């Protein structure tokens, strides 16, 4: 498969009732990236909302699957097949329970880690060799321990959490651009090293 561009995927659930929930961190991050670059996310195809633009010589597609989280791979696979994008040219932005709220981490390859959207991508892409930008949402707070995980991730960010998430968006923007311009390895080294250094 030839590499004719990069595919930036934001994972989430469609519908206004999910817009500011923790599970929609990927959608919110992709919206921010598109806005900063002046790229419109208003086209629809293959059960996804998407837009495209150029970063240097690279064509970039940004996609938000509208199939609900556990079927995200169906939409993504159609974009990959049609545009002949290699799996190593894919960056997926998604929430992560195992990272503290507000932390971000870039990871190449790996399993699903219990994330239904990532599981669907692995299934439909036939492999796990895509890069992930994990956005920490933490576990239920101490005063809400015992809350089912599915209820927690589908709950809205608190004002404090949303402010913390928004403060990380410029770093997420930097990570996306590094991935496109210099590849997964450089992006991972730079962003993860910066996060560790500054203890973000």
Among residues 135, 133, 136, 153, the alpha carbon closest in space to that of 144 is found at 153
Q: What is the distance between the alpha carbons of residues 49 and 12, in angstroms, rounded to a whole number? A: 12
Measured torsion, CA atoms of residues 162, 116, 48, 103, in degrees rounded to the nearest 10: 30
3-state secondary structure (DSSP) of residue 137 = coil
Question: Tokens standing for 38?
Answer: 């002046």
Q: What is the distance between the alpha carbons of residues 108 and 127, in angstroms, rounded to a whole number? A: 12
166 annotated ligand binder: no
By the 10 Å C-beta count (0-12 exposed, 13-18 middle, 19+ buried), 134 is classed as buried
The answer to whether residue 186 is catalytic is no
Residue of 6, 23, 83, 115 marked active site: 23
18 annotated ligand binder: yes
What residue has token string 């880690």? 113
What residue has token string 């933490």? 138
Among residues 107, 146, 143, the alpha carbon closest in space to that of 128 is found at 107
Residue 94 backbone dihedrals phi, psi, to 5 degrees? -155, 160
116 annotated ligand binder: yes
- Which residues make up each annotated binding site? 18, 68, 70, 116
- Which residues make up each annotated binding site for tRNA? 18, 68, 70, 116
Residues marked active site are found at 23
């Amino acid at each position: 498969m030839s590499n004719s561009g990069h595919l930036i995927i934001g994972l989430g659930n469609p519908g206004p009732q999910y817009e500011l929930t923790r599970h929609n961190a990927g959608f919110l991050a992709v919206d921010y990236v598109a806005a900063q670059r002046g790229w419109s996310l208003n086209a629809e195809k293959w059960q996804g909302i998407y837009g495209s633009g150029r970063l240097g010589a690279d064509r970039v597609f940004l996609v938000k699957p509208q199939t609900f989280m556990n079927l995200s791979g169906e939409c993504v696979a159609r974009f990959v097949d049609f545009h002949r994008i290699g799996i190593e040219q894919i960056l997926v932005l998604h929430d992560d329970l195992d990272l503290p709220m507000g932390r971000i981490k870039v990871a190449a390859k790996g399993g699903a880690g219990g994330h239904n959207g990532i599981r669907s991508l692995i299934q439909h892409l036939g492999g796990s060799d895509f890069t992930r930008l994990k956005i920490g949402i933490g576990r239920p707070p101490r005063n809400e321990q015992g809350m089912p995980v599915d209820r927690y991730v589908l709950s809205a960010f608190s004002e404090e959490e949303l402010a913390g998430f928004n403060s990380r968006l410029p770093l997420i923007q930097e990570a996306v651009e590094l991935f496109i311009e210099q590849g997964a390895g450089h992006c991972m080294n730079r962003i993860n090293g910066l996060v560790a250094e500054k203890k973000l």
